[in-house]
Structure 1
């Protein structure tokens, strides 16, 4: 492209990336990450670190939660509404306690792995071999943490009736209340009995 054509292009697009601001500097859009450079571990917010430290779910069990497999923590919060028996509460509480203990341990490993990766870049730039190892360790630690939470959902499901699972889904806002109306063509009594309606 000749200089003449380039000049015409600039005139046609005066607000292109090469234009300058009034102070003479090149215009730019701040990164969505701006401000995160002050984090202790760049990939994790203070809220992330706090939730992981307490064994919180951190959204890692969504594959179960949003596909109809309830988790122990929210079930215990909704124990009355879901109609948990005393035995169910006791069994689910045991699952929740073990999940939290395992999640705290797995979370510590994950945070340590993320810290190691972060520190490697703080010190300059890791070589390809070190980077591959650090990323693999962080990925493995995150997978282990995720497994803790998903496994707790799996252990909880067999303790519940179908009606309790449906009620949990309604209470959490994932589905409509099947007891609110009987679909056309269904026997009302059978429908309500099947869905555990009162």
Structure 2
């Protein structure tokens, strides 16, 4: 029943029933959910963010990282150069028209990119192999303090040579471009 001022008036017994059953009805889905999830295994209290990675062929490398290494991708290895005004050949070719590359600059950059990819693929394969050897030492329970040091240094050496290769091509690009082209490159890249 509605009063003249627009407020609904309820019989006290109906109001009392509504007040009692409201929280019960609201709790019903929660109770059903709790009962359903009670049978689900809970995540272990000490679960690691690495859980699931134990099935990888090489534990320290994701399938995407392996693919990128095989393809000779940059993988942010040349950020020290890129973010300090030393453009990379791949991005220079993407922006060739905006940078006003001469025909000679464009041809040289294309050649540099192909050389970089070839070298990076070779060095990437070395990183994969070195990581695989390190992983095998642990997997096969053959790891010792001596071969651990040797294996980790081999990984570091392969990674370092790969990074140096990528950075070297950024250095070469900075020598090929004019200061004005580098300035435009940095602006277009948002640096």
Q: RMSD between aligned alpha carbons?
A: 1.8
Is the partner of 2:182 in helix, strand or coil?
helix
Ranges in structure 1 where 5+ consecutive residues have no aligned partner: 1-21, 175-198
TM-score when scaled to structure 2?
Answer: 0.75
Partner of residue 177, structure 1: none
Q: Note if 1:115 corresponds to 2:137.
A: no
Q: Note if 1:105 corresponds to 2:122.
A: yes
Partner of residue 64, structure 2: 47
TM-score when scaled to structure 1?
Answer: 0.72
- Please list, as runs of the form range in 1=range in 2, the aligned pairs for 1:1-198 lying within 5 A after superposition: 28-124=45-141, 126-174=143-191
Larger radius of gyration: 2
Is the partner of 2:47 in helix, strand or coil?
coil
Q: Which runs of 4+ in 1 moved over 2 A?
A: none
- Cα separation, 2, equivalents of 1:79 and 1:30: 49
- Per the TM alignment, residue 134 of structure 1 is displaced from its structure 2 partner at its CA by 0.3
Ranges in structure 2 where 5+ consecutive residues have no aligned partner: 1-37
- Per the TM alignment, residue 173 of structure 1 is displaced from its structure 2 partner at its CA by 1.3
Structure with more relative contact order (C-alpha pairs < 8 Å, separation 6 or more): 2
- Per the TM alignment, residue 125 of structure 1 is displaced from its structure 2 partner at its CA by 5.1
Q: Which has the higher helix share?
A: 2
- Cα separation, 2, equivalents of 1:29 and 1:127: 28
Number of residue-to-residue matches in the alignment:
152
Q: What are the superposed Cα offsets for residues 77-125 of structure 1, whole Å, 9 maximum, x if unpaired?
A: 1111222111110011111111111111111111100000011111125
- Cα separation, 2, equivalents of 1:147 and 1:78: 24
